[in-house]
Amino acid sequence: MTDGDRFPPGTRVRTFPHDPPHHTRLPRYARGKHGVVVEPEGPAELADLSAQGRGDAPVEQIYAVRFAARDLWGEGDHHVVLDLWESYLESYEEETVRDR
């Protein structure tokens, strides 16, 4: 899907926590973290595969995703926006916090 409709602005997402054995444009500090889609940025070849010199890299939608700095590094009162390929993201609905 490359039309930007999968994650409209305001959609809560989670990045995948994977640690592939090859190049990826998903920063380690943002893996498995929750953010909010700001806007679609347009389609581009998936850098994970194109960086390997492969000619079969799929074209995916890139999304600007906002993360709270505190969620990424445990401190900070600002936000960070990362441009991330669609395959790095999944929809996320907040779970109900239960008494522990």
Task: Tell me the pLDDT tens digit for each residue of 71-95.
Answer: 999 999 999 999 999 999 999 876 5
For residue 6 the two structure tokens come to 């999968």
pLDDT tens-digit readout, 39-69 = 999 999 998 888 778 788 899 999 999 999 9
Task: State yes or no: pLDDT of 97 exceeds 80.
Answer: no
pLDDT band at 34 (very low <50, low <70, confident <90, very high): very high
How far apart are the C-alpha atoms of 31 and 73, rounded to whole Å? Answer: 12
pLDDT band at 99 (very low <50, low <70, confident <90, very high): very low
Task: State yes or no: pLDDT of 2 exceeds 80.
Answer: no
